[in-house]
Amino acid sequence: MERAAVIVAIDGPSGTGKSSTSKAVAAQLGLSYLDTGAQYRAITWWMVNNGIDIDDPTAIAAVAGKPEIVSGTDPGHPTITVDGTDVAGPIRTQEVTSKVSAVSAVPEVRTRITELQRSLATSAEQGIVVEGRDIGTTVLPDADLKIFLTASPEARAARRSGELKGADVHATRAALIKRDAADSSRKASPLAKADDAVEVDTTDLTLAQVIECVVTLVEEKRAAAK
Ligand code: DC
């Protein structure tokens, strides 16, 4: 029997294992994968590179439509380009990380990026795992399955400092909390759990356990839809 394309939304704050989980689930189930945080980082990188004042939402809004952002959705090799330039590395710098919340709070930026996300999600023939902050609430409210990942601030900071190769855990924790507070309190589609999302607390789970949990939930949905 032909399998219908399944759309999975995975939201949650930083350091909950969203990216690793989403990529692995997509690869295991033969689905596409979209990292929406990378898109917001890419537009932030363009703003910084073009000398746009990050503290001026009007200036950001005026040029939000300019950069062409293209995401490759193969979970084994996700890519991101801005006007044809590969920015996978530059979007992970401390400078972009510290500015992305301000840029992504601008409604014109969100409208632009949300359009890109919807068009990628609806054109993924085998289905897609989309990870972010507002996927279940705003971008894809009709997703087949919505997951909201959480973890204690200590666990999230420890994971992030591991990724950043031994960065100071206390400083990482403070930066994470600041960014989450900004992402959760902004007016335009804040970080939030959708009412119909399944919440998974990953504090005491290994990555393998989180992946298995989400794969099982997707398979249950698919079986129920047959
Ligand atoms: O997942 P990440 O840390 O790479 O995301 C970077 C930033 O992008 C995050 O601090 C908030 C923003 N973001 C957003 O506003 N909406 C999304 N769907 C994904 C990310």
Å from CA of 38 to ligand 1 middle = 7
Tell me the C-alpha to C-alpha distance, in Å, between residue 124 and each of 106, 144, 146. 27, 14, 17
The secondary structure of 4-26 as a DSSP string is PPEEEEEE--TTSSHHHHHHHHH
According to the model, what pLDDT value does residue 1 have? 44
For residue 121, tell me if it sits in a domain.
yes
Amino acid at 68: E
For residue 116, tell me if it sits in a domain.
yes
Stretch 107-111: mean pLDDT? 97
Q: Of 33-47, 69-83, 165-179, 186-200, which range is least confident? A: 165-179
Read off the DSSP letter of residue 169: H
What tens digit of pLDDT does each residue of 57-106 get? Answer: 999 999 999 999 999 999 999 999 999 999 999 999 999 999 999 999 99
What global pTM score does this model have?
0.95
Tell me the three state secondary structure of residue 34: strand
For residue 1, tell me if it sits in a domain.
no
Stretch 164-176: mean pLDDT? 80
Å from CA of 139 to ligand 1 middle = 13
Q: CA nearest 204: which of 158, 145, 167?
A: 158
Tell me the C-alpha to C-alpha distance, in Å, between residue 208 and each of 16, 141, 211, 212. 13, 27, 5, 6
The residue range of the domain holding 217 is 6-225
What tens digit of pLDDT does each residue of 113-146 get? Answer: 999 999 999 999 999 999 999 999 999 999 999 9
What tens digit of pLDDT does each residue of 41-59 get? Answer: 999 999 999 999 999 999 9
Atom index in ligand 1 nearest the CA of residue 134 equals 18
Q: What is the mean pLDDT of the chain?
A: 93
Å from CA of 5 to ligand 1 middle = 25
What CATH number is given to the structural domain containing 118? Answer: 3.40.50.300
For residue 72, tell me if it sits in a domain.
yes
Amino acid at 30: G
Q: Is the pLDDT of residue 24 over 90?
A: yes
Cβ distance 141 to 208 under 8 Å?
no
Closest residue (by CA) to atom 18 of ligand 1?
132
Number of domains into which the chain is organized: 1
Atom index in ligand 1 nearest the CA of residue 186 equals 15
